[in-house]
A and B are shown apart, each in its own frame.
Chain A
Amino acid sequence: MSSPNVMSPNFRLHIDGIATWASGLPDWPAMRAFARGEAELVDGTPRRPAPDLLPANERRRAPDTVLLALQVAQAACIDADADPKALPSIFASTHGDLAITDYMCATLAGSPTDLSPTKFHNSVHNAAAGYWTIGCGCHAATTAISAHRATLAQGLIEAALQLAAGASQVLLVAYDGPSTGPLGTMSQSEGLLGLGLVLSPHSATGNNLRLALQLGKGADDGNGSGRLETALSGNAMAPALKLLDAIATGRDCCLLPAGRDTVLKVGIGA
């Protein structure tokens, strides 16, 4: 892999906790085994996750992307043995909840005064961040960002920046859900795919997986041939698959799209 022209300092961070969720691969051990070719997609897994952070009535009303984000956030904190109350968090999603955007646009075109107040407050890009902090009783900072295909890369950078600014540990959640209706012809995305990472500047758990982030000029190498990328690339958060394939199979780096003419080189080491 060619080394991109360097345009940023090198940020080093540790993965203290990792969690993932996708249809047919409802946790990180299942996803890792699939990526390594040791297992196939799991039959009969739930259509959407059911994080126990939300009470049952809230869970029924919450959008799928919120359930997805909360599921991986909670599982990553458990993996890191981290207290969610204390963690600043970054929620990164390319499109937010496409099904709600479709609902909003369709309702506004038909009978706008019927717009559901619950759907409206669930339509904000920071809905998952809001439910997460409410569910955990967390008063720390949380943010919600998008950078189109660069969303994961910019989320990782913001995590590194928060650590550089003094946070001892941060939670990064990257996720996207399926498109529905006419909007799907513009913003295509299939299935649910979520990644949660608890990150720290120095390993807080003895987990030795390290990341080194560096922005550079150039184009990413497009879709790779990893098993996850091949199987799940229809989701808008597909760049996460590139990172997860690399971590699962023990590769030492991957390139993530980070913006126009820009890549994020992610070095991965034990």
Chain B
Amino acid sequence: MTPITPLAITARTATTACGRGLASLRAALREGRSGLRANDFPGCDLATHIGRVDGLEDAALPAEFAEWDCRNNRLAWLALNQDGVFERVQVLREQHGATRVAIIVGTSTSSIGASEEAYQHLDGDQFPAELRRPIVHTPHSPGDFLQQATGLRGPSVTVATACSSSAKVFAQAARMIHAGLVDAALVGGVDTLCGSVLYGFNSLGLVSTRPCRPFDAARDGLSLGEAGGFAILERDGDGPRLLGYGESSDAHHMSSPHPEGLGARLSMQAALDRAGLTPDVVDYINLHGTATPKNDEIEAGAVAALFPSTTRASSTKGWTGHTLGAAGIVESVIALDAIDTGLMPATMNCDDPDPVCGPQVLREPMQGNVRHAMNNSFGFGGNNCSLLFGGAA
């Protein structure tokens, strides 16, 4: 596999249960303050903990975007307007032209929450009048909304590979820039809590009643969360670098990972190969670490097999919950922040580590020099993506 030319990440942001934008996320990570709470999602009485973003109910989109209004696009808009991302998009639109900047956005369920709501208020077999807006009932809802919101007219694609979606957006955008199709890309992911995922993961028996405990010996399932986040990829510019990406398939089971972690190993190795780097230079890995018994066992084993004991690794899902199609961007933003601030977060709620964990898995936060950071995102269908980031050139 030939190494790729690194790309600059000139802006980034994440809005999660820890709050709006990078400052809130950083403060929560520094202070060890979880965003999870006992389930209070309207219309859902499951006994579980969720990572809910406050204020979406009152954050209707500006009137000119009314056709796209729904919880998921509200979160997209809220996230887009943090940390100078929207401003950078406007600069790029002027600099390169609207057709030369792509939008690649990941999601698992798009705005299916709006379709669920329509079915609760059907008028015969018709959707209620306020929800007769076809664009919010189809998977490309976030990609289409972002084109409307930004005025960008380059390729716009919604990637929906479950929980790896918004990691894979970096890979697709990198291919576009490397091939000369565009000069820059707005990448990201948005997923919101809805009945489909709350009851769906519950039906699979994958949800904990307690706040999730990644890599703890007694972990018993995930906590669901919602989040939106974005990054801007450019050929050159200030900021950390995307050095490599790796994508693989488990070829094992729709909702259970490969027993030997083969897919995870392949995606991590491919990210290293595309960066032209060896495992020993990776200082921090933000793990997928969902706190399901299987995922964590297999991921910890794969990390221990590939990386030396000097590599530190943690799951941050105890802060945000599993934000599904947004997990890739949120956790990439955390990995990028580790490079900039040196903070490698703890694995919250990992009180009694599973013996399968190698020395890599952090129980306490650590401060250090992070030259290279990786993010792992693994999804249903055995769909894996690993990203490798490095410091500013």
Contacts and interface: CB of A to CB of B under 8 A. Distances in A.
A and B together in one complex: yes
Interface of A: 7-9, 11, 88, 93-96, 101, 104-106, 108-109, 112-113, 115-117, 120-127, 129-131, 133-134, 136-148, 150-151, 154, 157-158, 160-162, 164-166, 181-183, 185-187, 215, 217, 258-262
Contacts of B66: none
A95 B99 contact: no
Given A146-B140, A148-B144, 15 more contacts: A11-B179, A95-B138, A96-B139, A104-B112, A109-B119, A115-B202, A117-B204, A120-B199, A121-B254, A121-B255, A130-B254, A154-B156, A158-B172, A182-B126, A260-B147
B30 interface: no
A35 to B, nearest CB: 28
Q: Point out which of B119, B134, B201 has the most chain A C-beta atoms below 10 A from its C-beta.
A: B119
B28 interface: no
Given A126-B380, A186-B132, A164 B253 contact: no
Interface string B241-260: 00000011111111100000
Contacts of A94: 138-140
Given A148-B138, A259-B153, A124 B108 contact: yes
15 contacts: A11-B179, A104-B112, A108-B199, A117-B204, A120-B199, A120-B204, A126-B162, A141-B247, A142-B381, A143-B247, A154-B156, A165-B179, A166-B2, A182-B126, A262-B99
A106 B119 contact: yes
B10 interface: no
B203 A115 contact: yes
Contacts of B118: 105, 182
A216 B273 CA distance: 34
**6 closest Cβ contacts across the A-B interface?**
A130-B381, A125-B160, A141-B247, A120-B200, A133-B249, A161-B175
Contacts of A186: 115, 127, 132-134, 137-138
B382 interface: yes
B314 interface: no
A134 B204 CA distance: 19
Contact of B119 (A108, A113, A166, A215): A108
Interface residues of B, number: 71
A156 to B, nearest CB: 11
Nearest to A90: B172
Contact of B153 (A129, A131, A185, A261): A261
Interface of B: 1-2, 4, 44, 99-100, 108, 112, 115-116, 118-120, 122, 125-127, 132-135, 137-140, 143-144, 147, 153, 155-162, 168, 172, 175-176, 178-181, 195-196, 199-205, 247-255, 262-263, 266, 379-383
Interface of chain B, helix or strand or loop or mixed? mixed
Contacts of B135: 148
Contacts of A116: 203
A130 B99 contact: no
B251 A134 contact: yes
Contacts of B44: 112
A130 B199 contact: no
Nearest to A158: B172
A147 B140 contact: yes
A186 B263 CA distance: 37
B159 A108 contact: no
B155 A215 contact: yes
Contact of A130 (B115, B132, B175, B383): B383
